[in-house]
Amino acid sequence: MSGVWGVGCYDDGARRVAWPVSTDEMDRDLGAGARRIGALGIGAGDRVLICSMLSEAAQHWPLIVGVMLSGAQLSCADSTAAEATRVAMFLRRLPYDAVLGVGPALLDGLEALGHDPAAVFASVRVVGAHPGASDRLRALGVPVHDVALCGPALAIAPTPGAPAAVDTDEWTLDAHDGRIVVSSLRPRAHPFVRTPTAIRGAVVDGGVVPESPSRG
Amino acid sequence: MTALPPPSARFFDEAVETMPRGALRDHQEALLLELLPHAYEHAPLVRHAWDAAGVHPRDVRDLDDFCALAPFVSKDAIRRYRDGSTDPFGGVLAVPLAELTAVMSTSGTTGDPTLVPEQWGRGRGPAALSRDFWGMGVRPGDHVALVLFTFRGPTYGFVQGMGGIPVLFDFDPAEMERFCEASLEYRPTGLYNFGSALIRAVADACDRRGFDPVDVFSSYRGVVFAGEPLGRRSRELAEAWGIELFEHTGVGDVTYAFECGEHDGLHFWEDTVFVECLTPDGDEPVADGGRGELVATTLFNRVAPFVRFRSDDLVRVTRAPCACGRTHARLWPIGRKSDEVVVDGRSVLPVDVWDAIESVDASAAGLFQVVRSSTTADRLQLRVGYAPQFATRLDAVADEVRDAVVAAVGVDVAVELVPDDALLRLGPPHKIPRVAGA
């Protein structure tokens, strides 16, 4: 019997739900994490900053392992307004090739510190941002890869402007009344069947085109 | 993974945790003498400091030589080196940049966070956290609640490494309702990390949702708090819920220290760090149990070797035997040397006013800052956070806070009140800067 990797959390749009993840599931997810990092063009010699929250570690651990397997260097920060100081410090002191997981609170924090986000991210080749941040960065001229936490499934656009894709071996997305719902395709300790998520938008080519919360 | 001890074992690594002090000192000496040439050769700041002092690692034959000869480094020295060069690591990086696995950062409470270079899988030192959590009663198969941030990296690995199952939360008062639910469902045995703001948030969540906090915490064998001291009010609340609290603190950006079940000081693992307790304004050793500045030297970190790092932390240290059976030394945190303000000739540290501020209902969250323009003042100036429901009676609140602080420290006090949220925004999440410029 598979062990338990940990108990993470997903957001179903109404509340945050505890989510037990088995080691078998995580082992499968790790392979996908490495492929997604590769699809973003991240490899040896690169440096990647992942902005996330600890409660989202079950979704982000595969990405972290993917960074390590790629030979790139990893940095981490919370995706909160208060962590804007840390994010600005990283980007001021070292060159970064990718910053993934920029959220609206982090952008608010950067602006409150007097930073121009376009200047902060100007030299970063891959910027991945969540709904509420992606539109703001695009408006500033930053090419953005959409990132969306569709409940338990992390969606990342492989190129700016493309739908944010989940691991299609594991997850399938649909839209219901403008809200993304997620289903698991393989055995999970906690199965998902058209489970609502906090993401509003449309499903295109199996990926999600998120709607900005400010326009929702 | 190293084989785990049987669940009945009292210690995670008995041979090391109970090593006789003579053998421990020999072990430290061997580790140090191996590390010093590497640090000198590869860490520019170490080399700079040693060359300036006219000392070479070959001059150091034992720990006594080291204490007599080795120059100090400090966080200010690291920042100065960083700002005066193109080296973002401040001269402490001792391996090629390309060989790093990760670049994390310090909490940044006292200024801009500084970079922490890491090389995973090599030279990370012993699984010391596991010793502390095993000592608290956590065993393989247990759930362990982690209420943390991500800037230290994937911290959940240590729980999985000792066969446990991490239950993951953000360090955020808004998470505490979910924390209560998950505690009742998964019945974790350990919690890492708590603080005053979270304890109060748990109380609010229990009131709102009708949870019994005693039940919420009934499975926990230990709850770790860190970042800041717990005031009396928060501690009493936690203890009324049946929580056994374990204090945890950093040791000079080199390692950390944890209370054991005796709750008589915080052990630091001396196979990972060589600690000196020196006079704060000099370099004389302080007698066992006396107040001094903690000076730390890593014994395992070849990536960023801190050698005789003056931590700015005021502590008491003892190497006397502990009733728990471990032989490793203990410390008691007092405060930051640079946080001290001398008011009308009397030394005041933030910890000296903490309980007084928490004793007032409006400022029970213990959010405050000492405001100063220099290290001496005629009057103690405090910026104190208040809970929103007290916004209509701020004059009375200011009087209550002032009276409580005057009674505690006996100096003249001026109080500026601000909403709790205004101070919480100053983060990092587990602590706020306790001293601010005027």
**Span B203-218, pLDDT tens digits:** 999 999 999 999 999 9
Residue A47 is predicted with a pLDDT of: 98
Does residue B211 belong to the interface with chain A, where contact is any CB pair within 8 Å?
no
What is the C-alpha to C-alpha distance for residues B1 and A139, in angstroms, rounded to an integer?
49
Residue B125 is predicted with a pLDDT of: 63
Contacts of A173 (CB under 8 A, 6+ apart): A150, A153, A155, A166, A180, A181, A182, A203, A206, A207, A208
Which residues does chain B have within 8 Å of residue A81's beta carbon, measured at their own beta carbons?
425
List, as ranges, residues 130-169 from A with C-beta within 8 Å of B: none
> Per-residue pLDDT for B424 more than 90?
no
> Per-residue pLDDT for B375 more than 90?
no
pLDDT band at B141 (very low <50, low <70, confident <90, very high): very high
Residue from the list A54, A61, A80 with its beta carbon closest to the beta carbon of B146: A54
A142 and A127 Cβ atoms separated by less than 8 Å: yes
Q: Is residue B215 exposed (0-12), middle (13-18) or buried (19+ Cβ within 10 Å)?
A: middle
Interchain pair A54, B148: CB under 8 A: yes
> Per-residue pLDDT for B438 more than 80?
no
Test mutation, A76, A90, A106, chain B, max B CBs within 10 A: A76
Give the sign of the dihedral formed by CA A27, CA B170, CA B248, CA B234. Answer: negative
> Per-residue pLDDT for B428 more than 70?
no
Does residue B108 belong to the interface with chain A, where contact is any CB pair within 8 Å?
yes
Residue A195 is predicted with a pLDDT of: 98
B226 and B249 Cβ atoms separated by less than 8 Å: yes
**Span B338-351, pLDDT tens digits:** 888 999 888 898 98
Residue A201 is predicted with a pLDDT of: 97
Interchain pair A76, B108: CB under 8 A: no
> Per-residue pLDDT for B282 more than 60?
yes
Does residue B84 belong to the interface with chain A, where contact is any CB pair within 8 Å?
no
Q: What percent of chain B has pLDDT over 90?
A: 76
Mean pLDDT by runs of 10 across the 216 residues of chain A is 89 96 95 93 97 97 95 96 94 97 97 96 98 97 98 97 96 97 96 98 96 64
**Span B76-122, pLDDT tens digits:** 899 899 999 999 999 999 999 999 999 999 887 767 788 999 998 76
More confident residue, B196 or A180: A180
Does residue B338 belong to the interface with chain A, where contact is any CB pair within 8 Å?
no
Residue A216 is predicted with a pLDDT of: 39
Write down the mean pLDDT value for chain B.
92
**Span B20-29, pLDDT tens digits:** 999 999 999 9
Which residues does chain A have within 8 Å of residue B167's beta carbon, measured at their own beta carbons?
6-7, 18
More confident residue, A181 or B376: A181
**Span B153-163, pLDDT tens digits:** 888 999 999 99
**Span A86-98, pLDDT tens digits:** 999 999 999 999 9
Residue A1 is predicted with a pLDDT of: 47
Token code pair at residue B273 = 């760090």
> Per-residue pLDDT for B433 more than 90?
no
**Span B249-279, pLDDT tens digits:** 989 888 999 999 999 999 999 999 999 999 9
> Per-residue pLDDT for B434 more than 60?
yes
> Per-residue pLDDT for B123 more than 60?
no
Test mutation, A19, A60, A75, chain B, max B CBs within 10 A: A75
Does residue A75 belong to the interface with chain B, where contact is any CB pair within 8 Å?
yes
Contacts of B77 (CB under 8 A, 6+ apart): B45, B49, B90
List, as ranges, residues 80-99 from A with C-beta within 8 Å of B: 80-83, 85-86, 89-90, 93-94
